[in-house]
Amino acid sequence: MNAIKKAVAAAAVAALIPGVAAAQDAPLKIGVVSFLSGPAAGPFGVPARNAAEITFEMLNNGKVPAPYATKGFGGHKLDMNLVDESGGTTTQVTEYRNMVQRDNVDMVIGYISSGSCLGIAPVAEELKKLTVFFDCGTPRIFEERSYKYVFRTAATATMDSVGAALYVRDLRKGKIKSIAGINQNYAWGQDSWSDFEASMKQLVPGVKVATSQMPKIFAGQYNAEISTVLADKPTVVHSSLWGGDLEALILQASPRGLFRRSTVILTTGETAMYKLAGSLPDGVVIGARGPYGPYAPHNALNTWFSKVFKDRYGVPPNYAAYQMAQAILGTKAAWEKAQAANGGKRPSQDQVIAAFEHLTFKSPAGTVQMANGGGHQAITGTAYGVTKKVHGKMTVAHIKRYPAAMVNPPDGMKAKDWIANGFKK
Amino acid sequence: MEQFIAVLIDGIIYSAWLFVAAIGLTLIYGVMKIVNVAHGSFYALGAYAAASITGALLAHGMPPYLSYAVLLGSALLVTVIVAPLIERGILRFMYAKDEVVILLITYALFLIFEDVIKLIWGVNPYFVAEPYGLLGSFDIGDLTYPYYNLILVGVAIVCGAGLYWMLKHTRTGKLLVAVIHDTEVSRAMGINVDRLYLITFTFGSLLAAIGGAYTAPTISVVPGLGVEVIVLSFAVVVIGGLGSLPGAALGAVIVGLVRSATVHYLPEAELFVIYLVMAMVLAFRPRGLFSIAEARKI
């Protein structure tokens, strides 16, 4: 009888071994979420989707330069499960649950909208699924709560706003009397303006706020806002408008002379500067939400990424594309670090999370440190410059770079407190 | 004083834009009793057609001043192709159904058009900025306005006055007024109501497309363009009274001026002020400011 039991057990173990081996070799199914329709698709969603597509393809073929030369994630093939981010937060929560519970993805990389990120983060925690935000900017994600399963591999809007304030302070040294803002009336626009306003008040004591305009997102018509700003004659105008709203603002403000009368800073201007080169005069301050696009450093990863992207899609990658590649490569770095710590075997999700926390990794935009949010929130340096046409071609000039520690709050400190405290701990 | 003038000018420009977008909506409701959510799609189609056709012709050396005519031609072209197709192909089979069912059908059409636009034009933005700056600018105090804004105001006046004249002084207009008053009696009197429905839907949609076409030089033509417009247009026609032409004009002026004044004097209230006005009007005049009295049918 014992012999029969042993034989059955042995047969069962033998039957399981190929399954175990298959699970070890199974491809990684990665949910990728980006805007594929709606107003954010053109400027951000599709470039990010393209970046995901080409990065996964290159990783699967082992064609990415060091330190990402191994195929896939630690030799495991990557399958992309693409989802459209449009439709609002409720739709996104449903889509997220479908990805995790129905499609059984191993992890999710995505989300451009701050609203999406704020909605998805608690659900990721509830479903215990590794989720990497690649673009959304609101600092509230890790300031209001700590998360185990959620990471963000791009810096927050605080970095954009503090960098913008430092840049215009230096550009208009001693001449800044008042500032004005045109920002969208939701999390991204409100956070961007409040950080910029607070930073300017620290950097230029006595600066006045002429007006803060908060038009509805996708309003598209800004004549009244532009009139108000023109009438108030501020030295500096800050805008974090993006996509079609940013482009409409540029088109409507340019013939009205806004760019000539004030120093205008467009924190996401990189996505529009080439398309609307004819409407942007020299001297407009352009941001790229970090060291991306024209501000990306010279390194092997950037040379590879910008070339393969342009060869495939005919246009250079914008910052959303860079941030998507950064998120994928950061996740790969964490996964392979966990795999190495696991003796070369496929790591568990908890092992990947442990490896991801406080990770420092290389991306086409330089070094990324998962330094904030308990090791879940990235910080990077940033750069700003001004538009300058050279032989009719749009470029950026007077580029200034700011190291990560200069434009991001220290870990555990809220952005508002850090700025209010004179950028000190 | 300068700020007050700026409020007036900005308000009038915004009102003109709103009026052109909303006037077709109120016409279609007045005649056909259809709350046409797909109206926003025709606005978007007009903008896309204008941006792509005008942009292409300018790139091939068309004299820039012709672009103003091409904007109009683009709106005409896209409407003449699409509107009769929708009315004859889909809507005419639905007239016997409840108004709510037809509303849902036009909402479905709106969603379909969003995808059709994406299939044809993709998700990248289209620009046709040349006509906006071509005429130069004028100054009022410290404020500069492109002359193109006056074209937008002119388009609104021509559309409104033209429609008013057509309704009052042409045979078709008088037939439309009869249909607006009572469709059944109009049919009984021998009026070809189906033909008038086709004309109304096409003409109403054309007005939306013209709105989109003449707005295109001032914006980035991107997916989702029709969403904001349809929401604001509904606010305008609800304030004015569904189906009322003077109501749409007054509604547009009220919304435009209130929004402009809010942006200048109390910008934090801009987000909800239009809907506050709508709620206040509806609280006192539930059928809008210029609601049309309906004969009681026994």
Same domain, A172 and A150: no
Please give the helix or strand (H or E) that residue B204 lies within, else none: helix B193-215
Q: Are residues A282 and A319 in the same domain?
A: no
Residue owning tokens 């791009």: A154
User: To which residue do tokens 């030089």 refer?
Assistant: B217
pLDDT of residue A4 exceeding 60, the answer is: no
**Residue A397 CB neighbours (<10 A):** 12
User: Where are the domains positioned within chain B?
Assistant: 2-284
Query: Which of B143, B151, B220, B276 should one mutate to test binding to chain A, selecting the residue with the greatest count of A CBs within 10 A?
Result: B220
- Alpha-carbon gap, residue A358 to A425, rounded angstroms: 19
**A chain contacts of residue B124, beta-carbon cutoff 8 Å:** 42, 46
Q: What is the CATH T-level fold of the domain B2-284, as seen in this structure?
A: ABC transporter involved in vitamin B12 uptake, BtuC (1.10.3470)
- Give how many domains chain A has, as a whole number: 2
For residue A5, the model assigns a pLDDT of: 54
Nearest CA to B226 among B52, B78, B43?
B43
pLDDT of the residue at B292: 64
Considering chain A, what percentage of its residues have pLDDT values greater than 70?
94
Tell me the whole-structure pTM to 2 decimals: 0.88
Q: How confident is the model over B64-89, as pLDDT tens digits?
A: 999 999 999 999 999 999 999 999 99
Q: Is residue A302, in this structure, part of any structural domain at all?
A: yes
Q: Quick one: pLDDT at residue A24? A: 62
Q: Where are the beta strands (DSSP E) in A112-228?
A: 131-133, 150-152, 178-182, 208-213
In a domain, A2, yes or no: no
Calculate Rg over the CA atoms of chain A: 23
Is A425 contained in some domain?
no
- Alpha-carbon distance A315 to nearest alpha carbon in chain B (angstroms): 12
A50 and A135 share a domain? yes
Q: How far is it, in rounded angstroms, from Cα A170 to Cα A404?
A: 18
Q: Is residue A224 part of a domain?
A: yes
Strands (E), A231-282: 236-239, 263-266
Gap from B74 CA to chain A (nearest CA, Å): 21
- Is residue A270 domain-shared with residue A327, that is, in the same domain? no
Q: Are residues A210 and A357 in the same domain?
A: no
Q: State which residues form the domain around A334.
A: 8-155+297-379
Q: Within a domain: residue A87? A: yes
DSSP structure string for A4-20 = HHHHHHHHHHHHHHHHH
- CB atoms B145 and A251 under 8 Å: no
**Residue A363, φ and ψ in degrees, nearest 5:** -140, 170
In total, the C-beta contacts within 8 angstroms joining chain A to chain B are 132
Same domain, A99 and A211: no
The β-bridge partners of A84 are A34
User: Are residues A374 and A385 both part of a single domain?
Assistant: no
Nearest to A361 by CA among A379, A342, A343: A379
Shortest distance, CA B252 to any CA of chain A (angstroms) = 15
Per the prediction, chain B carries an average pLDDT of 92
**What is residue B2's predicted lDDT score, i.e. its pLDDT?**
77
In a domain, A215, yes or no: yes
Does the pLDDT of residue A421 top 70, yes or no?
Answer: yes
- Domain assignment present for A1: no
Q: Which residue in the set A38, A213, A224 is minimally distant from B223, CB to CB?
A: A38
The pLDDT, as a whole number, for residue B26 is 93
**CA separation, residue A156 to residues A52, A116, A191, A269, B195 (Å):** 21, 15, 10, 17, 58
Answer yes or no: is A3 within a domain.
no
Phi-psi map region of B143: left, alpha, beta (phi>0 left; psi -120 to 50 alpha): beta
Please tell me whether residues A166 and A270 are part of one structural domain. yes
For residue B220, give the nearest of A219, A221, A248 by CB distance. A248
My answer on whether A372 and A233 are in the same domain is: no
Residues A180-226 pLDDT 10s: 999 999 888 998 999 999 999 999 999 999 999 999 988 889 999 99
Q: Hey, is A320 helix, strand or coil?
A: helix
Q: What is the pLDDT of residues A131-155, one digit of tens each?
A: 999 999 988 999 999 999 999 999 9
Return the CATH number at A48.
Answer: 3.40.50.2300
Residues of B in contact with A249 (CB under 8 A): none
CB contact under 8 A, A247 and B133: no
Report pLDDT digits (tens) over B18-51.
999 999 999 999 899 899 999 999 999 999 999 9
Condensed to tens digits (0 to 9), the pLDDT of residues B231-257 reads 999 999 999 988 888 999 999 999 999
Best of B9, B17, B152, B219 to disrupt the A interface by mutation (most A CBs within 10 Å)? B219
Q: What is the mean pLDDT of residues A102-123?
A: 95
Confidence class of residue A10 from pLDDT cuts 50, 70 and 90?
Answer: very low
- Work out the pLDDT band at B53, boundaries 50, 70, 90: very high
* A87 in B contact zone (CB under 8 Å): no
What are the pLDDT digits (tens) for B92-133? 999 989 989 999 999 999 999 999 999 999 988 999 999 998
Does one domain contain both A251 and A305? no
Give the mean model confidence (pLDDT) for residues B182-201. 93
CB contact under 8 A, A220 and B125: no
Q: How confident is the model at residue A38 (pLDDT cuts 50, 70, 90)?
A: confident
Pairing of strands A263-266, A236-239: parallel
Query: Same structural domain for residues A38 and A176?
Result: no
